[in-house]
């Protein structure tokens, strides 16, 4: 069941963006200018004619690092689609997920203060900066796999990577990009990409991802690499909002990780395909219910970087290893044996076409919650929003990274509104568009998942923190420039809901908040820290809670099970219903009985991109809590055995402090949704 609220100012924005992104020719945007104007592309991409893309267009792609500076000319080509054979029953697939930002910032990182940090887990990281690790990933882990598949044209494979990796190859690894394009254009390699960078998109406003996808589509079109309508993505992030968004943006098939499926639905055989949010959803890897009449095998479903590397070592150990021809040969033999046994070596889209041709019934997907692909070991999204690393526990600062991302996102979107308004008023905006494109690029890199999980080393954490700071500094200067262009003096107000910037004569001081009593008892944990809890009125039927945690060892001495890096607040839960907004669903509160789920770990963690989750009915009142993501962007924990909604940060530094802010209110779902979106997605900003 769901409750809808449709009167939002963002609706017009998304209509425009979706129209720019969802209609494609030859995997290229039908109107490259519209994408650039939306902020999705960088404003500098043009085809050979400088007009809208058509199937007849050619694109010139130059390898900036080549010695001769020669260009490669390619044509926009759709891969051939072989007619499905309804007699086939056995399908073998491989999904290789590549992340060029596996070690964001590199193994040798210099922070904003000039201090140098070397990765401690491997000898010899000196000189292994961001570019060198990226080059290693392309050269040692991707290229050998592409060369293997080139020898076997009958073998299909699905490769997922971010558009930024295409850019890296175009700049420094053109022969690899040419080979990838060749395999994709002949339909053997199914290219999947759903974001420009490896963003933790479940945690942030939908606009951040929509613009990232627009940039992605433009880059794939520019380099003539056909883009599949299948979606798998960084950390296997999935959920109902991810599924709905992929359909809205012209994709068709969502791949839902099996561990995330069983995390909330139990260990049961899944059906070959489901209908979900207007599109198709499949679960992988693993077999399917034999009653379907088909057999499914996954020969690979993991980080592609691990398949070709000696000893299965990840890119964190790049100075020690390279690709291993023996391991590649082992994989090649495995696939050859599979094909010899009568399996169809399929891509995901080809498999789905066969299900349709075979008339396998499509079941309706059950309710599925937001999360990532390894929830038993990572507690789903918690590892990225408050959970502690196992490998480098002392390095992490999840909340500092992710609340900083939320602040940076707000200011980049403020700049977007101001540039759009300048353009509508007839101002020249070409230089501003270039600056705006740079800001979006920085934001997408700052939002990369590896800055807070699974096991980030200190350099990756600092990359996120430093990039957030860089964005904030750039937006201060840029906003001042835009205010002058728009004639907004002496002060500016930007309403991110109406997407309008106006001048203010002065900045009126806010009225002092009225103290209020707590509406119910809370449990707050800050082992050894001085903790302050303050309540005041914040609106009709609303109260605001501010929790201030000082440094460790400023409060009562720890007794018993003490964890000085753990902060927590537990809000009472009054009924058995989960009411929340799945990530990327910003116009709807979805409601499900908690008892309908089968939590194999006894819990679920939710990112709450707009901060909203229900506490349930107490008497006649329906209560809600809204976390302020720009202060405390921590995942929410629910459990059928626990009558509370908990926010837990296990990754604060011992000398770190925190100020968490929550609004608590009672009212309808529509009222709570409006407040949450105003706080976290579309605030009114003044300076």
Per residue in 139-153, pLDDT (tens digit) is 999 999 999 999 999
The band of 607, judged by pLDDT with boundaries at 50, 70 and 90, is very high
Q: Sheet containing 588-593: which strands, arranged edge to edge?
A: 2-4, 588-593, 577-580, 612-618, 621-627, 658-666, 542-549, 531-539
The pLDDT assigned to 25 comes to 26
Please tell me the predicted confidence (pLDDT) of residue 35.
28
Neighbouring-strand partners of residue 58:
75
d(C-alpha 594, C-alpha 579), whole Å: 9
| pLDDT confidence band for 74 (50 / 70 / 90) | low
| Distance of alpha carbon 683 from alpha carbon 629, whole angstroms | 12
The answer on pLDDT for 20 being more than 80 is no
Q: Are 402 and 452 in contact (CB under 8 A)?
A: yes
- Contact yes or no for 273/254 (Cβ under 8 A): no
As a whole number, mean pLDDT of residues 286-314 equals 94
Q: Which two tokens stand for residue 626?
A: 């809204």
Q: Is the pLDDT confidence value at 644 over 50?
A: yes
Q: Taking residues 163-169, what's their average pLDDT? A: 98
Least confident of 5-19, 300-314, 397-411, 429-443: 5-19
In which element (H, E) is residue 443 found? helix 430-446
Cα-based distances in Å from 144 to 65, 141, 171, 312, 558? 21, 6, 19, 14, 53
CA Rg value for the chain: 25
The continuous run of DSSP H or E covering 179 comes out as helix 174-185
d(CA 259, CA 208): 27
In angstroms, the CA 276 to CA 582 distance is 14
Element (H, E) at 301: strand 295-303
Q: Which of 472, 469, 491 is nearest to 415 (CA)?
A: 472
Mean pLDDT is highest, among 52-61, 168-177, 312-321, for: 168-177
What DSSP element (H or E) covers 211?
A: helix 206-222
What's the chain's length in residues? Answer: 687
**Cα–Cα distance list, 450 to 45, 104, 261, 563 (Å):** 29, 7, 23, 24
Residues 6+ apart with CB under 8 A from 114: none
pLDDT in the model for residue 311 = 82
Query: What dihedral do alpha carbons 417, 419, 421, 425 form, nearest 10°?
Result: 180
> Is 536 in a helix, a strand, or coil?
strand
106: closest CA among 398, 402, 384, 316? 316
DSSP 116-163: EEE-TTSS--TT-BHHHHHHHIIIIIIHHHHHHHHT-TT--EEEE--H
- Sign of the CA dihedral with 638 first, then 642, 644, and 648 last: negative
pLDDT at 64 (0 to 100): 33
Q: Is pLDDT at 191 greater than 50 in this prediction?
A: yes
Q: Which of 28, 11, 12, 29 is nearest to 20 (CA)?
A: 29
8 Å CB contact between 639 and 390: no
Inter-residue contact 640 to 595 (CB < 8 Å): yes
Q: What are phi and psi of 385, to 5 degrees?
A: -130, 60
**Which has the closest alpha carbon to 443: 415, 418, 480?**
415
Task: Identify whether the C-beta of residue 416 lies closer than 8 Å to the C-beta of residue 208.
Answer: no
The whole model's pTM is what? 0.90
The packing angle between helices 430-446 and 398-424, to 10°, is 160
Q: How many CA atoms lie within 13 A of 448 on its CB side?
A: 28
The residues with which 192 forms a beta bridge, in sequence order, are 160
Number of other CB atoms surrounding residue 507 within 10 Å: 12
**What integer is the mean pLDDT of 416-433?**
95
pLDDT at 497: 98
Q: How is residue 381 written in tokens?
A: 């999204």
- Half-sphere exposure for 319 (CA within 13 Å, toward CB): 16
pLDDT of residue 27: 29
How many separate helices (H) and strands (E) can be counted in the chain? 16, 32
Q: What is the dihedral of CA 102, 103, 104, 108, to 10 degrees?
A: -160
- 202-249 confidence digits (pLDDT tens): 999 999 999 999 999 999 999 999 999 999 999 999 999 999 999 999
Kindly list the strands in the beta sheet with 491-495, ordered across the sheet, starting from the edge strand earlier in the chain.
500-504, 491-495, 684-686
Q: 584 with 206: CB under 8 angstroms?
A: yes
Confidence at 76, pLDDT banded by 50, 70, 90: low
Mean pLDDT of 254-283: 96
- Distance CA(180)–CA(596), nearest Å, equals 44
For residue 58, the surrounding DSSP H or E stretch is strand 58-62
Whole-number Å distance between alpha carbons of 316 and 336: 31
446 band by pLDDT with thresholds 50, 70 and 90: very high
**Three-class secondary structure of residue 216 per DSSP:** helix
Instruction: Give the strand pairing for 567-572 and 523-526.
Output: antiparallel
Place of tokens 């990369």: 448
Taking residues 384-401, report their average pLDDT.
96
Q: Phi and psi (nearest 5°) for 397?
A: -150, 65
* Share above pLDDT 90 across residues of the chain, in percent, rounded to a whole number: 85
Rounded Cα distance between 272 and 258, Å, is 12
Q: Which of 181, 125, 174, 183 is closest to 151 using CA atoms?
A: 183
CB 386 within 8 A of CB 647: yes
Query: Could you report the per-residue pLDDT of 558-604, keeping only the tens digit for each?
Result: 888 899 999 999 999 999 999 999 999 999 999 999 999 999 999 99
C-alpha distances (whole Å) from 424 to each of 306, 421, 429, 502, 620 are 49, 5, 10, 14, 48
Q: What is the pLDDT of residue 73?
A: 55
Task: Tell me the helix, strand and coil percentages in the chain, rounded to 5.
Answer: 35, 25, 40
């Amino acid at each position: 069941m769901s409750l809808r609220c449709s009167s939002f100012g963002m609706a017009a924005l998304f209509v425009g963006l979706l129209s720019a992104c969802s209609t494609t020719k030859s995997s290229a945007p039908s109107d490259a200018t519209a994408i650039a104007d939306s902020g999705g592309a960088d404003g500098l991409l043009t085809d050979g004619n400088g007009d809208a893309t058509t199937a007849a267009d050619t694109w010139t792609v130059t390898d900036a690092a080549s010695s001769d500076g020669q260009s490669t000319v390619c044509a926009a080509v759709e891969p051939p689609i072989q007619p499905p054979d309804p007699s086939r029953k056995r399908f073998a697939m491989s999904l290789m997920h590549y992340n060029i930002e596996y070690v964001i910032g590199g193994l040798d990182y210099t922070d904003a203060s000039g201090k140098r940090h070397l990765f401690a887990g491997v000898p010899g990281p000196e000189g292994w900066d961001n570019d060198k690790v990226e080059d290693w990933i392309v050269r040692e882990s991707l290229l050998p796999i592409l060369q293997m598949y080139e020898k076997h044209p009958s073998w299909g494979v699905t490769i997922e990577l971010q558009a930024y990796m295409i850019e890296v190859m175009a700049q420094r690894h053109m022969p690899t990009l040419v080979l990838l394009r060749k395999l994709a254009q002949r339909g053997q390699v199914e290219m999947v990409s759903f974001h420009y960078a490896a963003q933790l998109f479940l945690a942030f406003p939908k606009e951040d991802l929509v613009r990232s996808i627009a940039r992605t589509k433009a880059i794939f079109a520019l380099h003539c690499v056909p883009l599949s309508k299948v979606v798998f993505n960084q950390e296997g992030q999935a959920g109902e909002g991810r599924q709905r968004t992929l359909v809205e943006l012209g994709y068709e098939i969502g791949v839902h990780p099996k561990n995330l499926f069983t995390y909330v639905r139990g260990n049961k055989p899944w059906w070959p395909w489901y209908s979900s949010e207007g599109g198709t959803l499949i679960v992988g890897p693993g077999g399917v219910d034999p009653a379907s009449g088909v057999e499914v095998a996954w020969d690979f479903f993991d980080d592609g970087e691990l398949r070709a590397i000696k000893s299965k070592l990840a890119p964190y150990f790049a100075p020690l290893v390279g690709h291993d021809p023996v391991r590649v040969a082992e994989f090649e033999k495995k696939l050859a044996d599979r094909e010899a046994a009568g399996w169809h070596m399929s891509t995901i889209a080809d498999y789905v076409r066969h299900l349709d041709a075979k008339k396998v019934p499509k079941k309706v997907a059950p309710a599925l919650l937001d999360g990532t692909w390894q929830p038993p070991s990572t507690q789903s999204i918690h590892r990225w929003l408050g959970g502690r690393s196992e490998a480098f526990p002392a390095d992490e600062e999840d909340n500092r990274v992710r609340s900083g991302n939320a602040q940076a996102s707000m200011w980049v979107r403020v700049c977007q509104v101001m540039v759009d308004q300048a353009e509508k008023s007839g101002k020249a905006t070409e230089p501003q568009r270039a600056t705006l494109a740079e800001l979006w690029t920085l934001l997408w890199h700052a939002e990369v998942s590896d800055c807070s999980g699974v096991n980030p080393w200190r350099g990756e954490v600092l990359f996120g923190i430093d990039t957030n700071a860089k964005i904030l500094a750039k937006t201060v200067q840029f906003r001042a420039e835009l205010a002058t262009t728009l004639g907004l003096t002496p002060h500016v107000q930007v309403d991110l809901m109406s997407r309008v910037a106006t001048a203010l004569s002065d900045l009126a001081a806010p009225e002092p908040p009225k103290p209020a009593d707590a509406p119910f008892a809370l449990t707050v944990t800050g082992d050894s820290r001085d903790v302050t809890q303050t309540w005041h009125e914040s609106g009709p039927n609303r109260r605001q809670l501010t929790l201030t945690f000082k440094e460790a060892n400023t409060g009562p001495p720890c007794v018993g099970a003490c964890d000085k890096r753990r902060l927590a607040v537990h809000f009472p839960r009054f009924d058995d219903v989960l009411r929340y907004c799945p990530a990327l669903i910003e116009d709807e509160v979805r409601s499900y009985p908690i008892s309908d789920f089968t939590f194999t770990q006894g819990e679920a963690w939710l990112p709450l991109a707009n901060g909203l989750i229900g506490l349930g009915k107490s008497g006649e009142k329906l209560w809600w809590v809204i976390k302020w993501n720009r202060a405390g962007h921590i995942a929410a924990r629910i459990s059928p055995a626990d009558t509370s909604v908990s926010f837990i940060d296990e990754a604060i530094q011992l000398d770190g402090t925190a100020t968490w802010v929550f609004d608590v209110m009672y009212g309808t779902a529509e009222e709570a949704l409006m407040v949450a979106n105003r706080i976290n997605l579309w605030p009114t900003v003044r300076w």
